[in-house]
Amino acid sequence: MHTIAQRLEGVRERIRTAEQRHGRAAGSVALLAVSKTQPESAIREAAAAGQNAFGENYVQEGCAKFDALEGLGLQWHFIGPLQSNKTRAVAERFHCIHTIERLKIARRLSEQRPAELPPLECCIEVNIDAASNKSGVTPEHAAELAHAVAGLPRLRLRGLMAIPEPADGWDAQRRPFARLRTLFEDLRHQGLGLDMLSMGMSADLEAAVAEGATMVRVGTAIFGPRPY
């Protein structure tokens, strides 16, 4: 039975190996520990092992953990679907949101971000494989949304995020990540100063690193099966 610290080091080693294998600079891929539904004790254990950035999917749960663990100086990312009636809590409490898919939500976040805080960092979520059960803007409309979000005063657009359908096999895993990377590069060529590709999870992080991910979001491989 491995501890969280041991599993965390195993994930870090997977990232280091993938960086080296695919010609990425050492340390170019950040790790976001997905802590949704995990107890505070698990987050404390990961933090003690050097993990600083955590991802939460639910606003109320994330805010409760923010309060309970405030003294640890952790960085909180919101990575779940966001309803318009819950934008204020994200604007006030989180460092980054990965799941902007509508301009209405982005505008509310910009309006509600406190002036004393730095701009809220954000990514546009792209439904890269057009799955009917997935959130995200279509690739065809991503550029329009990205340029609009980039113009909002209290947001800082960092990049793109996607959650492709699970796929078996190396090539099948890489294809949607390659499409997201191409879209990312197109937006950079259009003058947007993007630097974050949030893609890849426990089962496919190597394929994401191969295609240019700058942040992978890993839960199960760090914390074990998720408690419900």
Q: Please give the pLDDT value at position 134.
A: 83
Low-confidence ranges of the chain (pLDDT < 70): 1, 227-228
Number of structural domains found in the chain = 1
The per-residue DSSP string of 156-216 comes to EEEEEE--PPP--SHHHHHHHHHHHHHHHHHHHHTT----EEE---TTTHHHHHHTT-SEE
The pLDDT value recorded for residue 51 is 98
Residue 1: predicted pLDDT: 66
What is the span of the domain harbouring residue 138?
Answer: 4-223
Tell me if 152 is assigned to some domain.
yes
pLDDT at 91: 98
In a domain, 228, yes or no: no
Q: Which helix (H) or strand (E) holds 223?
A: helix 220-223
Residue 5 belongs to what H/E stretch?
helix 4-21
User: What's the gap between Cα 202 and its chain centre?
Assistant: 13
Q: Does any domain span residue 94?
A: yes
pLDDT for the residue numbered 226 = 72
R_g of the chain computed on alpha carbons: 17
- Confidence at residue 133, expressed as pLDDT on a 0 to 100 scale: 80
| 95 falls within a domain | yes
Find where tokens 């893609």 sit: 199
The CATH number of whichever domain residue 47 belongs to comes to 3.20.20.10
Q: Which sign does the torsion angle of CA 113, 98, 64, 117 carry?
A: negative
Tell me, yes or no, whether 34 lies in a domain: yes
pTM of the model: 0.96
Instruction: Indicate the DSSP class of residue 113.
Output: S
Dihedral over alpha carbons 174, 177, 182, 185 (to 10 degrees): -130
**In the prediction, which pLDDT does 227 show?**
62
Is residue 111 situated within a structural domain?
Answer: yes
DSSP track, 42-77? HHHHHHHTT--EEEES-HHHHHHHHHHTGGG--EEE
Residue among 228, 165, 209, 177 at smallest CA distance from 30:
209
Q: In b/e form, how buried is each residue of 81-109, taking b as 16+ CB within 10 angstroms?
A: ebeeebbbbbbebbebbbbbbeeebbbbb
